[in-house]
């Protein structure tokens, strides 16, 4: 669809678009209506910023009547295929979002998490249109809803498409909170009985998997505020405590105490984390200092 704007509107938009937004901003908008309003304003500016992409922005955001409709449209555009058309995928996503009273709040908190923690994110529009981690997480929420509706075949189809398109494999039965930041998404694997609390940050190539010896409840439990750094592997039905930090390339096979940093293969405690500083929010991937606890 091509965007149609008047000459006066073009002049007004060009005035705003002439000043690029800063590389990193923190929005004060936290409600769904506020974020939706801000997202639409960013889409308006984007029409002028890049005319070649104006039709996509118009159709994805400005022609939609709600955040749920826009998100369903975008996910369908990216995940629809020969097995399930874009139209069918859009209706499926919209059904999931409208059936879950918390879906809008989850999406908003996930968007805010990206904007506050990713130094390259300058507006909501960027993750909404392009970030694989955000798309994979919101599509997982559709699969999770389907799973609990007893529609396992469709849930597994959505999981498969997430893996194919975004390079991120999340089992639909996993339980994931909101305000979760999956950065890059490539190589992230989240197993069936994994539980992830709110305000967790997960970087690329993280695996939350089984240890190969167990059945049933066999995957990690990640508490609030945890940072899982690049390439971290957490294996088995073990708990990573609140506010903990798992360093890059660490292999975690045992419980991680709250507010500690673990590193190495196998991972060991290398330092404490100040309790009132959540690593997931600060995104500080350093090991810290000290001899452990």
Per the structure, how many domains does the chain have? 2
Q: Are residues 161 and 266 in the same domain?
A: no
* Distance (Å, whole) CA 7 – CA 12: 9
pLDDT digits (tens), the chain, 293 positions: 444 444 444 444 433 333 344 434 444 456 889 999 999 999 999 999 999 999 999 999 999 999 999 999 999 999 999 899 999 999 999 999 999 988 989 999 999 999 999 999 999 999 999 999 999 999 999 999 999 999 999 999 999 999 999 999 999 999 999 999 999 999 999 999 999 999 999 999 999 999 887 789 999 999 999 999 999 999 999 999 999 999 999 999 999 999 999 999 999 999 999 888 899 999 999 887 654 55
Angle separating helix axes 32-49 and 7-17, nearest 10 degrees: 100
Alpha carbons 98 and 103: distance in angstroms, whole number: 8
Show which of 139, 168, 197 is a domain's final residue. 168
Q: Is 20 domain-assigned? A: no
pLDDT tens figures, 277-289: 899 999 999 887 6
Does residue 23 sit within a domain? no
**Residue 22 falls within a domain, yes or no?**
no
pLDDT value of position 19: 37
Say whether both 158 and 188 belong to one domain.
no
Q: Write down the pLDDT at residue 287.
A: 83
What is the token pair recorded at 104? 């809008």
**Predicted local distance difference test score (pLDDT) of residue 30:** 67
Specify the pLDDT at position 187.
98
Assigned domain for 291 exists: no
Residue 16 domain-assigned? Answer: no
E strands, the chain, in order: 169-170, 175-176, 181-182, 189-190, 195-196, 201-202, 207-209, 221-222, 227-228, 233-235, 239-240, 245-246, 251-252, 260-263, 268-272
Domain termination residue (choose one: 142, 168, 194): 168
The residue out of 118, 138, 168 marking a domain boundary is 168
Residues 145 and 204 in one domain: no
> Is residue 14 in some structural domain?
no
Q: Are 261 and 245 in contact (CB under 8 A)?
A: yes
Query: How far, in Å, are 119, 204, 247 from residue 263 at the CA level?
Result: 24, 17, 5
Are residues 36 and 153 both part of a single domain?
yes
Range of the domain at 245: 174-285
**Residue 274's domain is classified under what CATH number?**
2.160.10.10
- 138 and 183 fall within a common domain: no
**C-alpha 1: how far from its chain's center?**
28
Q: Are 262 and 146 part of one and the same domain?
A: no
**Residues 112 and 184 grouped into a single domain:** no
Q: What is the pLDDT of residue 214?
A: 79
Judgement on whether residues 80 and 140 belong to the same structural domain of the protein: yes
Backbone torsions φ then ψ of 263, nearest 5 degrees: -150, 160
């Amino acid at each position: 669809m091509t965007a149609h704007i008047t000459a006066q509107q073009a002049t007004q938009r060009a005035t705003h678009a002439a000043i690029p937004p800063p590389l990193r901003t923190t929005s004060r908008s936290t409600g769904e209506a506020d974020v939706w309003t801000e997202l639409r304003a960013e889409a308006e500016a984007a029409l002028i910023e890049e005319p070649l992409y104006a039709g996509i922005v118009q159709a994805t955001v400005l022609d939609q009547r709600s955040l749920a409709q826009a998100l369903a449209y975008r996910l369908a555009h990216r995940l629809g295929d020969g097995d399930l058309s874009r139209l069918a995928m859009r209706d499926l996503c919209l059904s999931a979002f409208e059936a879950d009273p918390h879906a809008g709040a989850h999406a908003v908190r996930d968007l805010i998490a990206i904007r506050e923690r990713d130094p390259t994110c300058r507006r909501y529009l960027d993750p909404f249109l392009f970030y694989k981690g955000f798309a994979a997480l919101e599509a997982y929420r559709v699969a999770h809803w389907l799973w609990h509706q007893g529609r396992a075949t469709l849930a597994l189809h959505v999981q498969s498409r997430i893996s194919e398109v975004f390079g991120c494999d999340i089992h639909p039965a996993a339980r994931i909170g909101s305000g979760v930041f999956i950065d890059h998404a490539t190589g992230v694997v989240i197993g069936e009985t994994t539980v992830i609390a709110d305000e967790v940050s997960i970087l690329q190539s993280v695996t939350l998997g089984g240890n190969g010896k167990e059945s049933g409840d066999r995957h990690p439990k990640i508490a609030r505020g945890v940072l899982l750094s690049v390439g971290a592997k957490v294996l088995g039905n073990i708990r990573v405590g609140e506010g903990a930090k798992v360093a890059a390339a660490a292999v975690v096979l045992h419980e991680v105490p709250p507010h500690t940093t673990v590193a190495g293969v196998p991972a060991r405690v290398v330092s404490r984390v100040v309790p009132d500083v959540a690593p997931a929010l600060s995104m500080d991937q350093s090991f810290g200092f000290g001899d452990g606890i």
